[in-house]
Chain A
Amino acid sequence: MSERVPLAAEVEARLRELGEVDVLVGIPSFNNARTIGHVVLASVAGLAKYFPEKRAVLVNSDGGSSDGTPQAVAGAEFTRSAAILVSHPLSPVHKIVTPYHGIPGKGSALRTIFAIAERLKAQACAVVDSDLRSIAPEWIQLLLGPVLQEGMDFVAPLYLRHKYDGTITNSIVYPLTRALYGKEIRQPIGGDFGFSGKLASHYLTKPVWDSAVARFGIDMWMTATAVADGFHVCQSFLGAKIHDAKDPGADLADMLVQVVSAVFDLMDAYEARWKAVEGAEAVPLFGFPHGVGLEPVSVNVERMLGIFRQGARDLGPVWEKVLTADARAEITVLAAAGADAFRLPDPLWVRIVYEFAAAYHRRVLPAEQLLRSLVPLYLGWTASFVRQTEQSSSEEVEAVIRELADEFVRQKGYLRKIWG
């Protein structure tokens, strides 16, 4: 399928020159000149340190950066990292810097990386974000190792995160993905993945490259496709993920729409698969998970509750197309509760998410309006979660999230029933 992906003439020539490789590290980028040099060095050091005998290539798939990102990759000094190596690579790590074609977005960038992986017959690949500040050479081992040494096809990342980081992931993406596909993937939209050459070729066969997946939602799509299509999946603990703020002004509603629409779209695509799945099981875990210190986090719970209450007061005409009368009645009662006593119970939250998923499937409202109307409810859940876990340690918070995920599994029959 890689022949359908357009590549520049010089890249084609470079591929012919390289022939075949064992491993590939892909870095999609767009205006990341400040950080990409570090990502390249860490990747190359990881390849040299952990896979010195493998023929390796590093591919930067760039979306037309204007800040010199490709030049930063081309000029990255590989020899510097040799100082920390015990063994030295048999052959140097090759570089391919290429612009990608198609719809602007991470999906199109990764498509180019998949195509190059297929053309070079790479056995194992890893993709890492270009804005990472915390990437270490070990990440390369943790993403490629399970594929090369354990026969895995897809390696999902497991990060060390603050208890209030990734609340969309914790409240919707993780528990819903786990309940749908029956696999314990804690960070389905982590952004850094390992995968086999076989899976890269499989991705290329999917007709999604002219859809929203090409712009956003590629992370969720990669995870769901790997799990739903029966590939061997695992997780690797990478430690903390620190990266540049992607867009400080990014609107919460925009984020929620992009992420949740990606999950809901996949529910349509894999309807038969998720309907057949019962329960959820753990997947192999590589690396050494450990806890995280809890620095103060500023969370304006009052503002969140204010928006939740206003939603309960004003969004009735919208929610009545989406939610059942029982759910709306419970929300109305909750909205009247005092701030200190406010708790959004797990069973109600799960019902809300499932009813939104079914409404999205039935197209009862334009998708964007439907998902934007979820924002006040999501903020209600987040406020409740913050209140509930104010004094909790990381482990205790994980237990709370795990309990929510189990509730998603318990209510899956309800989702099947209302799906239609």
Chain B
Amino acid sequence: MWRQVLDDVIRKTVSGFAERLAAFGPNLLAMVLILLVGVLAAGTVRLLLRLTLPWLGFDRFAHRVGLSAALEKGGIARAPSRVLATATAWTVLALFVLLAVGALNLQFAMDLLTRTFSYLPQILIAGALLVLGFLVSGFFERSVLIAAVNAGLPPARLLAGVVRTALLVLFVAMALEHLGVGRQVVLVSFAILFGGVVLTLALAFGLAGRHVARDLLERLTRKREPSGEKELRHL
């Protein structure tokens, strides 16, 4: 009798496992297939980008906007086109991994997939904001630096650095706000930081640089008087 019971239990267990394996097998196979396709797609994307980006002048553009210099500062000595190709390939692979997990048709996997895809637009927008912030802040930093040098303002580099930092902080705050990371904390921190910087600069200019401020205002309001002498004309 015990033997029959044991046979039944083992048979049921084995047959149940076989049934579950038969039901789950195609999903597993699909996952493996999706992963393989993902690896292939990522490799292809990487190869294509490594070939086309330099041809399209991406490295030159990156050099021009200061991306190369930023990568070098971050310890990445590779060409920006290679960095972008690798990053894109990893992103493609990550997407395929998510799809592969989804193919298992497990509840937690489906939840993970749904949450990830619903959050993806925010991640993309935040990433775009960071890239835009990097480009915009670099552009304005250079513009302020050149204008300040041409105007003969001694703290040209300081001014340019302040402008770049302020813009970067602004864009990072916008990106974090978009991701919903500590929304209130980011907003309040930014307001306090920005207000503090402006107040500090105003006080510094008003107290330490009041003579400079007075001279500047006088120069702005004074009418140009003819000197009697001819001045150098550039054109």
B235 to chain A, nearest CB (A): 6
Q: Is A3 an interface residue when CB atoms closer than 8 A count as contact?
A: no
B221 to chain A, nearest CB (A): 14
| Contact call B232/A164, Cβ cutoff below 8 A | yes
Q: Is B50 an interface residue when CB atoms closer than 8 A count as contact?
A: no
Find chain B residues with CB under 8 A from A295 CB: 230
**In the complex, per-residue mask of B207-235: 1 if CB is within 8 Å of any chain A CB, else 0:** 00000000000000000100101111111
Q: How large is the interface on A (under 10, 10 to 19, 20 to 34, 35 or more residues)?
A: 35 or more
| Contact call A364/B63, Cβ cutoff below 8 A | yes
Q: Is B97 an interface residue when CB atoms closer than 8 A count as contact?
A: no
Closest to A173 in B: B235
Q: Tell me whether A318 and B146 are in contact in the complex, defined as CB-CB below 8 angstroms, given that A306-B152, A310-B156 are known contacts.
A: yes
- The docked-state distance in angstroms from the alpha carbon of A375 to that of B149 is 9
Find chain A residues with CB under 8 A from B154 CB: 310
| Contact call A372/B150, Cβ cutoff below 8 A | yes
Q: Is B60 an interface residue when CB atoms closer than 8 A count as contact?
A: yes
Find chain A residues with CB under 8 A from B152 CB: 303, 306-307, 310
Q: Is A146 an interface residue when CB atoms closer than 8 A count as contact?
A: no
| Contact call B64/A321, Cβ cutoff below 8 A | yes
- The docked-state distance in angstroms from the alpha carbon of A308 to that of B139 is 22
Q: Is B157 an interface residue when CB atoms closer than 8 A count as contact?
A: yes
Q: Tell me whether A296 and B232 are in contact in the complex, defined as CB-CB below 8 angstroms, given that A314-B145, A364-B64, A372-B150 are known contacts.
A: no
Q: Is B178 an interface residue when CB atoms closer than 8 A count as contact?
A: no
A10 to chain B, nearest CB (A): 36
Q: Is B91 an interface residue when CB atoms closer than 8 A count as contact?
A: no
- Of residues 39 through 71 on chain A, the ones whose CB sits less than 8 Å from some CB of chain B are none
- Of residues 122 through 154 on chain B, the ones whose CB sits less than 8 Å from some CB of chain A are 139, 142-143, 145-150, 152, 154
**In the complex, per-residue mask of B164-200: 1 if CB is within 8 Å of any chain A CB, else 0:** 0000000000000000000000000000000000000
Select which of A259, A296, A317, A318 is within 8 A of B235 by beta carbon. Answer: A259
- The docked-state distance in angstroms from the alpha carbon of A363 to that of B65 is 11
Select which of A166, A375, A386 is within 8 A of B233 by beta carbon. Answer: A166
Find chain B residues with CB under 8 A from A166 CB: 233-235
Find chain B residues with CB under 8 A from A364 CB: 60, 63-64
Select which of B142, B157, B232 is within 8 A of A167 by beta carbon. Answer: B232
- The docked-state distance in angstroms from the alpha carbon of A317 to that of B73 is 13
Q: Tell me whether A189 and B235 are in contact in the complex, defined as CB-CB below 8 angstroms, given that A303-B152, A314-B157, A364-B60 are known contacts.
A: yes
- The docked-state distance in angstroms from the alpha carbon of A164 to that of B231 is 9
- The docked-state distance in angstroms from the alpha carbon of A362 to that of B57 is 11
- Of residues 293 through 322 on chain A, the ones whose CB sits less than 8 Å from some CB of chain B are 295-299, 303, 306-307, 310-311, 314-315, 317-318, 321
Q: Is A169 an interface residue when CB atoms closer than 8 A count as contact?
A: yes
Closest to A315 in B: B149
Select which of B145, B231, B235 is within 8 A of A169 by beta carbon. Answer: B235
A9 to chain B, nearest CB (A): 38
Which 3 residue pairs of A and B lie closest in terms of their CB atoms, listed nearest first? A298-B229, A164-B232, A375-B150
